[in-house]
Amino acid sequence: MRFPDFFSAAPVIRMRDPLAEFLGATGDGEFEYRFEDAVRLAGHSCPTVASAFLMTRAALARLYPEELPVRGEIRVDLADERDAGVAGVIASILTLVTGAAGDTGFKGIGGRFDRRERLFFAQPLEHGSLRFTRLDSGAAVEVAADLSHVPGDPRLAELLPRCRSGRASTQEMSTFRSLWQDRVRRLLLEHADDPQTILIFPI
């Protein structure tokens, strides 16, 4: 298995998971989530997956400025309905990193580590498309992504339908893949901390 080289240079999200520590998955309960993890979960690499990863990173950094975010102790609200557009893909990345889940989440052990009722769709947000809330303090932040600042190559508009229909040549398919991933690369490496691309709205 070989990912594009830029994956390894993408930002990393560090978390502390008390459940992992309790059950001995890691001695200190600390995890590092990388873009590769999001890609493995989603099964593909695209601007949506990248922006979900970056919005999560930005929100957690704002909520936990001097400590590791605590996985399983964060509520996440999405403005979109669960079946709208790419809401499901985004939600899967949010669950991966934060542990927040709906009614199918982990039920906990003896009243601790419950991950259910932490992820909600169709919520009335004020500014962003996602809201993250610390369950211990109630501190919250909303985030959104404006991908217009990271436009795709104009050639993608012609190549995508040809590749999708199977009419593309080997060279066209190669060009399409390269251009598609280049937009993901620019988003992750050049715009991860760009306030015009990853927007943060303190609550």
- Residue written as tokens 């873009």? 35
Question: What is the structure's pLDDT at 26?
Answer: 87
Question: What is the structure's pLDDT at 106?
Answer: 87
User: Does CATH place domain 10-149+194-202 in 3.30.1330?
Assistant: yes
Query: What are the φ and ψ backbone dihedral angles of 186, each rounded to 5 degrees?
Result: -65, -40
Question: What is the structure's pLDDT at 196?
Answer: 97
The domain locations on the chain are 10-149+194-202
Q: Which segments in the chain show pLDDT lower than 70?
A: none
Question: What is the structure's pLDDT at 27?
Answer: 85
DSSP per-residue string spanning 132-162: EEETTT--EEEEEE-GGGSPPPTTHHHHHHH
Question: What is the structure's pLDDT at 111?
Answer: 87
Question: What is the structure's pLDDT at 59?
Answer: 98
Question: What does the pLDDT look like over 7-50, one tens digit per residue?
Answer: 999 999 999 999 999 999 988 999 999 999 999 999 999 999 99
Question: What is the structure's pLDDT at 30?
Answer: 95
